[in-house]
Amino acid sequence: MPEPPSSSSSSAAAAASALGPPPLTGIRVLEFAGLAPGPYAGMMLADAGASVLRVDRTSSSSSSSSSSSAAALPPNDLLTRHKASIAVDLKSASGIALIKALVSARPSSGGAVDVLIDPFRPGVLERLSLGPSDLLPLNPGLIYARLSGFRRDGRYARMAGHDINYLAVSGALSLLGRAHDPPHPPINMLADFAGGGATLFQGILLALVARQTTRKGKGQVVEANMVDGSAYLATFPRFGLKSGVLGRARGTNLLDGGCPYYDTYTTRDGKFFSVGALEPQFFKALVAGLGLEGRGLEEKRFDFDEWPAMRTLFAQTFKSRTREEWEAVFDGSDACALPVLEYGELETDAGREGDQRPSVTLRSTPCLAIKQRPQQGSDPVTNGRGSGVAGDGYEGQLLDPGQGGTARLEEWLGWKQGEQFEIHDGAYSLSRSRSKL
C-alpha cells in the first residue's frame, strides 16, 4: 500500500488548493526580442503569470541582404522563463500583417494582446509601421511599453550606449567607487536591469492598473529609460549630497566604503566578511566579537581622522581567522557582520538561503516558482507555484526561435498553422487569406 502523505505535504497541498492564480494570469504580452533589459521585464511579467510570446527576428528581417531566406537567428537570450517564441520576418508584408493581427485580435476571438514590449532604439518599430500610432488604433487597450537607454527627448537620444554610459550621465556613477580611484560600475545591474527592465515592469503594472481603474479600458504608451531609472534609484544618495550623509568625497563617507565599520574585509583563507555595524549597539557587538573591547573604539566612531587606524585594526583582526571561524563568532549576533557568499556555494546550500525564490511573496496569489522541482511539502507561497524551471535560478535556458509558438498562438487565439498563419523557413507569417491588415 502507498504510504499516507506526511502532515507537512498534506498541509502544503491544502494551502496550494486555497490559493488564487498568479497575479498576472490572463495578461498576454508580445515581447520583441532585444538585449537583456527588455527580456528581463518580460521575464518578470512571465514569472508573475503573464503569457509572454517573444518575437524573434529572422536573418532576412535583420540584414540588408537581398536573399529570400528567412531562417531564424540563433538565440542568445537566457531570460526566457515561461516564454514561447515565434520568428517573424519584419521586412516582409506578411510578417508585419501577422504582428498587426495579433495586436488587433479582439477578446471575442480569444483575447487581445495586452502588452507590447519595444526594446529597440527610438524609431525602429515606427519605421516598420509598428509604432504606437499604428497599433493603438487597432487595439485601444494596448499597453505599448518602450525601453531606451537615454531619454527619448534628450541630447543623447540618438547615441549608442551601455549600462556604464547611462549611469555616467545619470550622475549615479559619480557616487560609486573607492576614494582615489575612478568611478567603478557595478557590473550592469544598476542601469540595465534595475533602472531599465525593472522600471519598465513597474510602468507596465501602473498602466494596467490605470487601464482598469481610470482609463475605462484604454491602454497607453509607457516609456522607461535607463538614465531616469538610475537617477530615481539614486534618490536617497542624491539627497545625501545635500544633507551631509554623502557630503565628503567619493569613497570617504559612511555608506560608500569610507567607513571602517561599513565595509568588507579579507579573512585568513582569502574569503571575505561584510560589516555594517552603524548603530551604537551593533558597533558594540562587533567590537566584542572581534575581541577589541577596552580600546575606546566606541567613542571614535564618528571621528573621521580615526577611521584609517580603525580600518587597519579591523583588517588585521579579520585576517587572523578564516571566514568560517568568523561565522562561528558572529552567527546569531546583532553585530551586522556576515560572510560574503558566492553563487557557487549558494547554489548547493539551500540552508544558506541559496534556493532561488520569486522576488516578492504574495500570500494569496503567489508568482511562479523559479527553482525546479521544489522540495516536497515546500510552501507554494514563499517558494512560488508550480514545478519551477530548469536551471533553478542559477542557469538560464535558451529559447529557440519558434519554440512553443504554435501552441501559444492556439492558446491565445485558437489559431492553427495552415489556417490563420503559416511557417516558411522558420518564419511565421499571416496566411494569405488573412493578410488584409
Q: What single-letter DSSP state applies at residue 2?
A: P
> Containing domain of residue 287, as a range?
262-348
At 208, give phi and psi (nearest 5°): -65, -40
Contact 50, 81 (CB under 8 A): no
Q: What is the mean pLDDT of the chain?
A: 91
Do both 401 and 289 map to the same domain? no
Choosing from 77, 114, 118, 192, the catalytic residue is 192
**pLDDT (average), residues 40-65:** 86
| Domain end among 291, 321, 348 | 348
**pLDDT (average), residues 375-386:** 84
Domain-located, residue 318: yes
Do both 215 and 282 map to the same domain? no
Query: Cα separation of 121 and 10, whole Å?
Result: 51
Q: What single-letter DSSP state applies at residue 434?
A: G
Give the count of alpha carbons within 13 A of 347, CB side only. 8
- CA–CA distances in Å: residue 135 to residues 25, 129, 130, 218: 23, 8, 6, 13
Please report, in angstroms and rounded to a whole number, the separation of the first and last CA atoms in the chain: 61
Q: Which among 73, 221, 78 has a CA at the least distance from the CA of 142? A: 221
Query: Cα separation of 126 and 113, whole Å?
Result: 18
Contact 227, 252 (CB under 8 A): no
At residue 432, the pLDDT reads 78
Which cell is 289 given?
A: 566579537
At residue 372, the pLDDT reads 85
**pLDDT (average), residues 137-148:** 96
Do both 332 and 295 map to the same domain? yes
| Overall domain count for the chain | 2
Do both 421 and 285 map to the same domain? no
At residue 291, the pLDDT reads 98
pLDDT, tens only, 302-356: 999 999 999 999 999 999 999 999 999 999 999 999 999 999 999 988 889 899 9
**pLDDT (average), residues 264-284:** 98
Q: Which CATH number fits the domain that encloses residue 287?
A: 3.30.1540.10
At residue 132, the pLDDT reads 97
Query: Cα separation of 289 and 291, whole Å?
Result: 5
What DSSP string describes 309-329?
A: HHHHHHHHHHTTS-HHHHHHH
| Residue 61 pLDDT grade (very low, low, confident, very high; cuts 50, 70, 90) | low
| Domain end among 285, 317, 348 | 348
At residue 43, the pLDDT reads 98
What single-letter amino acid sits at 205?
Answer: L
Do both 230 and 273 map to the same domain? no
pLDDT, tens only, 96-125: 999 999 999 776 555 689 999 999 999 999
Q: Where are the alpha helices (H) located in 319-360, listed in sequence order?
A: 323-330, 343-346
Give the pTM.
0.91
pLDDT at residue 259 tops 80:
yes
| Residue 13 pLDDT grade (very low, low, confident, very high; cuts 50, 70, 90) | low
- CA–CA distances in Å: residue 165 to residues 40, 156, 298: 19, 10, 41
Which cell is 131 given?
A: 509604432
Catalytic residue flag (residue 192): yes
What DSSP string describes 204-273?
A: HHHHHHHHHHTSTT--EEEEEEHHHHHHHHTHHHHHHHHHSTT-SSTTSSTTTT-STTEEEEE-TTS-EE
Do both 148 and 217 map to the same domain? yes
**Residue 256, helix vs strand vs coil:** coil
User: Which residue carries 579579520 as its cell?
Assistant: 318
Which cell is 181 given?
A: 580611484
Domain-located, residue 369: no
Q: Which CATH number fits the domain that encloses residue 109?
A: 3.40.50.10540
Do both 183 and 119 map to the same domain? yes
| Residue 59 pLDDT grade (very low, low, confident, very high; cuts 50, 70, 90) | confident
Domain-located, residue 121: yes
Q: What single-letter DSSP state applies at residue 58?
A: B
What phi-psi label fits residue 381: left (phi over 0), alpha (psi between -120 and 50 degrees) or beta?
alpha
To the nearest 10 degrees (0 to 180), the angle between helices 280-290 and 307-318 is 50
Query: Within 10 Å of residue 237's Cβ, how many Cβ atoms?
Result: 18
pLDDT at residue 85 tops 90:
yes
Domain-located, residue 179: yes
